[in-house]
Structure 1
């Protein structure tokens, strides 16, 4: 078990899926976690209650990561409640599974606003408000390497946040703040399954070495290592957790 006692972690988009599991694992390791959501308040408070029941400490903050003022408020609320921010997990995002000919202007803008602007705003806040020696992990995706049909807009957004995070790592190195990227393969979450047929899921599952999709806990454990003291010399890296997909 990694020791994150008294560390304060913001996990964006943590009411469900990978983000929720990261929040639970970090809390179990001793971190005080901030659960962020946009519209799924009931799910966010369910994560909060599960952490509380396990003896952990968490705060729920509603904030739309597409809006810079709300991202600023998310950091304000965290510092007001816990006094500091040590860890930022950029997890919030949306996925569109459509061919280029099917994607509307509004859908493309929604992907870029949620996935790219949200990470940029969070990194900008973190650049001045994260504690020295802090940790940043951005959740990307192996689709940036796989050239899969229907993932064009999503892959473009994830490629952008990978570069944002790597440059951030360079800029923040003097303060011993690390910033890394975790690129999951297909994971058993609502984000992955929505819009896909059973045949789509079976085809994608067959790409892995174990003929299955990943589970949220398998991603959360890698994140847990990257935010620990043991990972202090790891920064600016993009680490795949895909079961051999990419």
Structure 2
């Protein structure tokens, strides 16, 4: 089902790859005007720009690192100039790495929290003046936040923090008519997994697919479906929730 979001102005962080890319394209196809950001230029950004042009609409791509306050200021300035208001804010930008806890450097712990948790804090806080009554704030978390995953203590902690941030902001911003929710993906088949060799991919599937009731990985489009729902009026009385999109993990 494709929802009609014509006339909606949307800001999506981390929109050039994987889940973020799927969200940006789904929102644009649903009629929204989208501003999104990316950390590094390259073919992923160029191809997204081409796809958005083919879809139609007046969309913008901005180079910005959400862990850098000055970059966030620049991103919000573009949103203010180009959109005027932000009806839907999607916090998707983030990083991940796999490090045994005993060997986890403080720098990597801080990098992960700065991107995954503090980045969302910065974007939401700076965007507040642009959020009208009825706005929807959606953060992309992770099923790992409640399941826990070895070698990802830093990542899991950052995503668990987003659940608390979501719950608190839902209560604080609800009086302004602003909804705040979180989408928690399970194992999603993104371009990162696409870089694996056939042998590595087979091992990856054997390790994880049996964990899902649906016995397959999810797709960025399926995460985008949950985001579209939360961006639309169909979810007008839903706030403070975590929606797991994980195939029954």
Q: Decide whether aligned partners of structure 1 residues 169 and 193 sit closer, same or farther in structure 2, where only a CA change above 3 A counts.
A: farther
Q: What corresponds to 1:73 in structure 2?
A: 74
TM-score, normalised on structure 2?
Answer: 0.92
The more displaced of 199-208 and 119-128 is: 199-208
- Listed as ranges, the gaps of 5+ residues in structure 1 are none
Cα distance in 2 between the residues matched to 1:145 and 1:20: 25
Contact 2:167-2:241 within 8 A present in 1 as well: yes
Q: What corresponds to 1:204 in structure 2?
A: 208
Cα distance in 1 between the residues matched to 2:43 and 2:79: 20
State the shift of 1:201 in Å: 4.1
Cα distance in 1 between the residues matched to 2:69 and 2:220: 28
Contact 1:45-1:60 within 8 A present in 2 as well: no
Aligned residue pair count: 245
Cα deviation per residue 1:213-236 (whole Å; 9 max; x = unaligned)?
Answer: 111111101100000011110000
Contact 2:84-2:130 within 8 A present in 1 as well: no
**Other structure's SS at 1:49 match:** helix
State the shift of 1:33 in Å: 0.3
Q: What corresponds to 2:38 in structure 1?
A: 37
Q: What corresponds to 2:25 in structure 1?
A: 24
- Listed as ranges, the gaps of 5+ residues in structure 2 are none
**Other structure's SS at 1:57 match:** coil
Query: RMSD across aligned C-alpha pairs, in angstroms?
Result: 1.8
| 2:220 paired with 1:220 | no
TM-score, normalised on structure 1?
Answer: 0.93
Q: What corresponds to 1:167 in structure 2?
A: 168
Q: What corresponds to 2:143 in structure 1?
A: 142
Q: What corresponds to 1:132 in structure 2?
A: 133
**Other structure's SS at 1:206 match:** helix
Contact 1:36-1:44 within 8 A present in 2 as well: no
Q: Decide whether aligned partners of structure 1 residues 95 and 193 sit closer, same or farther in structure 2, where only a CA change above 3 A counts.
A: farther
The more displaced of 193-202 and 95-104 is: 193-202
Cα deviation per residue 1:106-163 (whole Å; 9 max; x = unaligned)?
Answer: 2111101111110110111233221221111100000112122112111000011111
